[in-house]
Amino acid sequence: MLRKAPLAKCILTVLFLGVTASAFAQLPGAIFTTTKTGSRVNANIYPQKCGDTGVWLDGGPGPNAPQSAAGLPDGDYYFQVTDPSGKTLLSTDPVKNRQFNVTAGIISGLSGAGNHNLGVDIDHGAATVELCPYNDTPNPGGVYKAWVTPVGDFKGNPNLVDNACRGGCFHGFVASSSKTDNFKVKGGAGGACLEMLKIIDVNGNGYGDVGEDPLVNWPVTIVDPLGTTNTFWTGTVKECTFNQLVPGLYTVTEGAAANYEVTLNILDGSYLRNPDVAVLIRIKNNQTREIVFGNTPK
């Protein structure tokens, strides 16, 4: 016959287990999603993925919390966006482009060379980081998961976009040493996007040849059908940087430089006649289009 343990022993056992669990707790502090200015978003539901009212990453004191509230430990971190299960990676740029810094418990800036814009949490003076570019979630409810992990805990090659790993590890992010925050974008998956790339046509033959590498941090300006202008800086791969685009005609213009001339435009894999710095692109509902600008040194 089994004997019941004394009540005091049960209490000590529970306390011991509690101490053990906390010793292996997740990364301390907090992350959360906000708008560009760090404002609270009701139920973490956003009207769009990108832009000022899209989804931005914040860390440190939560909205309306005092500066003394718990923040992330100081150091360098990577972030990613996945579906809510973590199985599907939605971030589209290399991990090293998704690196940011924390100083005095708040995000202080970016150290990655990607296309992620910075905002300012006006309540706490912290930097906010735009999560775009990332693909639409396969989740039918439009739910996403933002992840943050210390650079030292990342498993894999940060030069890659995705990293295979197992045992509680998702794309190089170990769940037990990461912070996550779920958010939702109204309307679920869908929306058109525009991908861009800039290459150097070294031999000037008007073609993108093997070995002619992309030029990073080259400005490309997009004017939408409503006349709104946004600027994108090119990366090493084509990225769905402009997301949730409304249908219509867009003007896409690459930055000019005195020591380069345009030799090619590739739209959706086809070379255009009479290449130019500006290209008109018509976008339909839920359509992904891509444009490549090619220049040769004069």
Whether the Cβ atoms of residue 252 and residue 193 lie closer than 8 Å to each other: no
In this predicted structure, what is the pLDDT of residue 115? 67
Query: What is the pLDDT averaged over residues 278-298?
Result: 87
Give the distance, in angstroms, between the CA of residue 65 and the centroid of all CA atoms in the same chain.
Answer: 25
Question: What is the three-state SS of 13-72?
Answer: HHHHHHHHHHHCCCCCCCEEEECCCCCCCHHHEECCCCCCCCCEEEECCCCCCCCCCCCC
Label residue 126 by pLDDT band (50, 70, 90): confident
In this predicted structure, what is the pLDDT of residue 217? 79
Q: Could you give the CA distance from residue 119 to residue 56 in angstroms, rounded to a whole number?
A: 8
**CATH level 2 (architecture), domain 192-297:** Sandwich (2.60)
Least confident of 108-117, 213-222, 240-249: 240-249
The strand order across the sheet containing 239-245 reads: 239-245, 192-200, 288-297, 260-267, 270-271
- Which phi and psi angles does 21 have, rounded to 5°? -65, -40
In the chain, where are the structural domains located?
31-185, 192-297
Least confident of 3-17, 80-94, 127-141, 142-156: 3-17
